[in-house]
Homo-oligomer: A and B are copies of this chain.
Amino acid sequence: MAKVVSEAVVKRLPRYYRYIKQLEQKGKIKVSSLELASLMNITASQVRQDFCNFGEFGQQGYGYDIKKLKGEIVKILGLNKKYNMIIFGAGNIGSALAGYKGFINEGFNIGGIFEVEPTKDEIHGVKIYPTNYLFEYLKENTVDIAVIATQSKDAEQVAETIVKAGIKNIWNFAPIELDCGKNVIVENIFMSDSLYVLSYKMSHRK
A contact set with B: CB distance below 8 Å: 1, 5, 10-11, 13-15, 17-19, 22, 39, 76-79, 81, 83, 91-93, 95-97, 99-100, 102-103, 106, 108, 124, 144-145, 168-169, 171, 175-177, 185, 187-205
Contacts and interface: CB of A to CB of B under 8 A. Distances in A.
Question: For the complex formed by this chain, how many copies does it contain in all?
Answer: 2
A61 to B, nearest CB: 27
Contacts of A169: 198, 201-202
A187 B197 contact: yes
Given A11-B197, A83-B199, A18 B175 contact: yes
Nearest to A189: B194
In this complex, the member of A17, A92, A95, A124 whose beta carbon has the largest number of chain B beta carbons within 10 angstroms is A92
Contacts of A78: 199-200, 202-204
Contact of A187 (B5, B103, B195): B195
Given A95-B96, A201-B185, A202-B185, A171 B196 contact: no
